[in-house]
Every structure is written in C-alpha cells, then in structure tokens.
Structure 1
Amino acid sequence: MSVPARDAASTALMARANQIARDAIIVDGHIDVPYRLKNNYVDVGAATDGGDFDYPRALQGGLDAPFMSIYIPASYQESGGAAALADSLIDMVEGIVEQHPDKFALASGVADVRANHAAGLISLPLGMENGAPVEGDLANLAHFHARGIRYITLTHSRDNEISDSSYDETGTHGGLSDFGRDVVREMNRLGIMVDISHVSDNAFDDVMEVTSAPVIASHSSARRFTPGFERNLDDGRIERLAENGGVIMINYGSSFLLKRYQDDRDAARARILEEAERRGWEPGSDDFNAYSDQYFRDNVPYADLQDVVDHIDHVVGLVGIDHVGIGSDYDGVGDSLPTGLKDVASYPNLIAALLQKGYSETDIRKLLGENALRVWAEVERIAARS
C-alpha cells in the first residue's frame, strides 16, 4: 500500500526537524526545574511522572543547554534568606550533575556548552531569577559568579533594591535604583548577562543607558499580542534590545502569548470564586480545586504552537532573525503551555512549524541557540577586557 503524499510529506518534515534538533545546539533561556524540586525532589535523570523536564524527554527533544532557573520568590526580600536559598538551589543542580555525570554537565561559559554538546552531555547553565540574593552587597555578585550564575533577572514580581518590577505598580525607583545601576555595571565587569525579563519599562530603559554589554530577555514575549501586559516587550523596546545586540527569548506560557487567554483566565477566576462562595467552598479545598480545574479545562483554551510561531515571526519582522530565541518557562507556567509544546520533548514540533513557514536551517539554528550563545560570548569578551 502506498503512503499518501500528504502523510509522506509530514513524515519527511518531522524527520528533518528531528535531525536538526539532534544536530543543532538548543538553548532554552529559562526552565524552573530547581524550584520545582525544592519541596518535592524527584530524579530528573530518569523519567518523571510530573513536570515538563527530565533527561529522557530532554534527549528526545534535542535540548542541549537549558538554563536552570535559580528562582527566588519576592517574599524573601522581606523575610531574608534569599542568598541562602540561591546557594541551596545551586547545590541541588550540582548534585544532579554529580549523580548523573554521563547525562548532565555544568556549563560556566559558551565553550563548555559546545564541548558538552560534542560529548553528548546536556549542559545545565545557571540563571538567577530575581536579584534579591545580592542583598545590597556587590561582593555577592562575585560570589554567585564563582558559583556559576551566568545571568540574573534583576527583579521578579515586586520591586526590589535593584529594580522596579513590571508586576508592581509602586514604581519604587522609577526604573533602576542607584544601586541597581551599580549592579548592572558589576555584572558587565564579571561576565554575568543582564536579564530584563520582569523589569518595568522604565527599568528596561535605564538598563539600556547603563549597560556596556548586550542583554537578554530570558523568558519574555511580544506585547503586540498582549496589549497592556508590561511583562512582555513592546515593539520599541524589542528594537532597542536589538540595537544593543541582545536577544528576546520567547516565553511559551499562554498568558504571554494571547490576550484572549488572559481575558478567559480572568473571567474564569471570577466565576470560580462566585461558585465557591455560593457552595461554601474554601479556596484551596478539594472541592474548590476539583471544580476550578474542570472549569479551566472547559472554558479556558490554551494557546497553541502557531501562537509561538506568530511571536517569533513578529520579532523577526521587526529586527531580524539574530535577536530571537527560546525561553519556554517550562516548569514555571503550570499547565498553561501551548498545545504542541507541552514539555521539553517538543522542540522538534517548533522546528517543523518553522520549516513549514519557510525558515532556513541556518536561521532555525540561530533561533534555537546560536543567538543566545552569541550574546553570552560577547558578554564574556567584554568582561575579559575589563
């Protein structure tokens, strides 16, 4: 029996996508494995029942350098202990590598990523999400650089001593604080990439005035598709990021991809709270959670793979292929991931969609990892001459 031409073409397309995934270096700017494992440790060197990342799925997807997010909740800015938590999460990542030296390796620079790729190992570079562990002392930047941190997201959900947050309407500093400007300069000197995901628009503008090195948005998308959502970058700031030589790494979370999803989500939350009040359910109770989960499944459809491609197309149309990458936020956005991109096994699905759109293999390799590695290498070069 002959294979229908359409099926044969789809099979050939996926075969090519899988081959590119195996051959190219795939860098994902943000994966929240450490915090996922903080209170519920499982061995990600083997297949896991939950989460979006483990070794078998990463191998299937061709993933080479997932930045492990050393995530520090904003609450630690008030309670203290941010630096200690960061050190403990770094210890965890080092432990994963020690437990599985045949699968994972640390990576403190671009050369390590390339060497690990050649050796068939998945690199686990480190990025710190929230600058709170700096704890007001520039010397802590050197400490965390020595521990392998290679980017720092300056703030998270609330303003901190470094920067205002896109999620916080307080506007504590009107952008970066004076200390935050010193932090950016010291990160440039040490060779730590400045990550402007989560910062306010004013803080982004201040970073652009201060930095001597290109910066990254490790897990942000295009505000064109989510009007009013400051967490994503507007077109003017994407253009400014490109002028700086930086890269925006597209976040897969449905709320980052679609205004429709944000609206549906907000309406669902209000409806669920109304029903809980009517039935006398406490938020967080089994009945509340069961109803909430089912209501979201029935009424809040996720984004899909094409929505991610739309964001990529938009950035490429604005500033070219050299300034876009992947920052999935796997293990960080819950079950809001788009259909077709539900875990780290799915990078070939994105590659196939890009091939269908007419992207060349050279351009796809840039997007998958070479753009991020170029920025990282330039940050290293600038630090070396400091």
Structure 2
Amino acid sequence: MIDIARIQAWAFRSPTKRPVATSFGVMHDRPAVLVRVEDRDGVFGWGEIWANWPVAGAEHRVRLLEMDVAHLVLGARAETPAGFFHKLDAQTRIRAVQCGEVGPFAQVIAGLDIAVWDMAARRKGLPLRRLIRADAPDRVPAYASGIQIAVAGDLMPRARAVGHQRFKLKVGFDLDADIAAVHDIHAGLADHELIACDANQAWSLEQAQEFVTGVADVPLHWLEEPLPVFADRGEWQTLAANSAIPLAGGENIIGEADFDHAIKAGVLSVIQPDVAKWGGVTACLAVARNALANGRRYFPHFLGAGVGIAASAELLAGAGGDGLLEVDVNDNPLRSLFFDGQEPIADGMWTCGNGPGLGIDSIPEELAQFQTLYTEIS
C-alpha cells in the first residue's frame, strides 16, 4: 500500500563552463528538480522532475508541486505505483488544461511516479529493474549525447576516453555545415563506433529531405526529431518514405494514446519517451512494451541529473529489447556526482547499481552549493 506522509523537493542550478546549445535554444546553466517521498513507515524514494525549459522552469516546478499537487498526494492511498500515477493524472487533468500547463503538471507527476516506484522497490529490497522484470540485466548499452556538432572534435574524444562507442550529434544549425561535419566525423570513426543525429525539431520537410540526401552515404544509426512534433502527419510520412535513416522521436509526445499512434503509424523506428518529462516509470514502461511488441526500438530519452539517468537505466533494463541509454557527456555535477564523479560506462555499456530501488540513498553533499530552492510538505 502506498501512503505518502512527507514530500521534499529541491531546485538546483549548476553553472556551465560551456553553454549547451540546441537548435531551438541555449542552456547557460544546468537546472534540476529532485523530489523525495516518504511513507508512514519511513520508507523513501527518489524522483526527478524535468526542468530544462523555460529558463525559470526548475523553481516553477518546485512551487507547482508544493502548491498545486502535494495536497493530492499526502494521505492519498494506492495499491500500486501504477494506481498512484493514474489517480494523480486524473485528479490534475482539468486544472492542467485550465492553466495551459499540461506539460509542467505531467513533469511533476512523472517525478513523483519515479519516486513511488523507487520506494516500492526499496520496500522489497530489489533494484528497480528487478521489480519490473526478475531477470533484468545488470548492464545496458549506452550512447554519448549532448554533442553539438560544432564542438564534436572536443566532446567525442572525451566521451571515448570514458568508454563510449556510440555518439549522437546535435544538428539543425546550418545545413551545409552540418552535412559536411557529419561526413568528416564519420570518416574518423573506428570500425566499432557509430553516430546518430538529433535536429531537435529544427527543420521544415524540405530542409529535412536536403539533410537526408546530403548524408545518404553515411550509415547514421537514427535521425531524431528532424521535423517538429506538430508537423503535418503527411510530412512525417513523406520523410520516412524517402529516408534510409531510421527516424526517432518521443521526448515531446504526451499521453499513451499519442504514443500508440506514433508507434503504429510506421513512421518512427525508435520511440523515445522521457521518464522525467512525461509518464514516469508507469507510463513509459507501458510505452516501451507497446513499442517492442510492435517491432519498434525503445531508447529512453534523458538530459538531466543523476536520479533521472539512474531511473532511465533501470527502466531500460527492466523493459528489455535492444535499446540504448542516452548519457549526456557535457559537464554536469548534478548528474555525475551521484556516481562519484564519473558515470558507470565501460565498453559502451552502462552498469546499473546493485542497491535497492534506484540505488541512490541521498543527495551528494557537494550539490548544496547549487541549491536555489527547497520545500518540505507533510
């Protein structure tokens, strides 16, 4: 029985030595929102709430949890984590629509859901992946992410040095320069290495087709969000029909119905829900199983702090399939300090923790310097 008696939430901001650039904006610091829930027996769980955008997003999510959601959680009982998720989702749906903040509400619920699953696994003394599937592996394949193509010459060697063999390049800045850089980078790969590209919704159909044509002789592993998520369905179908590169997306899809359509429409080969952005473990696990059952690949999207990446790894291991874990390789102590300063990567594989739940007991003391907001509700 889930019966939460205490909620704590923190907002953090870590300065960056180098801004993290995407085609739609630049992150000048690294934000994170972490949440801890505790039941009446003292069993606790950790979660993470997506807060990369807008710039003021981290503090907003903490206040949203504190003032609009916490009272629905404290003392509200549920038999299972999934029951908790669906009840809270239903309770907040109208107010989320009323204020035009469907995404932020979904993100808060996702973080709480992660924490409740962590708590449930701790109660049983199991790693989260083994609560999901008894024979889940201890390691999952991973890839280096967050590599803006203009600085790939710096970030890729660093990623290799820590054990990465797969790399995702952020494109969508300048078509001709992007195409030329993809060719140059591919030419320098070792035989066991591969690359993919992520346009972050930057292109029109014509631009996406120009890119696909321009890199036709490069065996890209996948092409992520070449079009906006709201682009006409026919444009996605046209691009898929004329691209030898598998298309990927999902971080900006909300709801099992929309994911079901994306999975069954035959356009996306790789499905990428973000456990901290929508759905938590409950709904993202359902999406992963749906994707695998329909011949798609499940690659959890993630670009945040240590709790969320641990949850993504546990979820991928539990879901099964041949998916890859996204691991940001830009400096971010909000992520790396959860793993003693260096993520557990070797030979292109992420090693999951052996502890119960997510394997995280507390926030590293060194993160206190980055805290911008804290709240506790009981």
**TM-score scaled by length of structure 2:** 0.41
Q: Which has the higher contact order (CA 8 A, sep 6+)?
A: 2
Higher helix share: 1
Higher strand share: 2
**TM-score scaled by length of structure 1:** 0.41
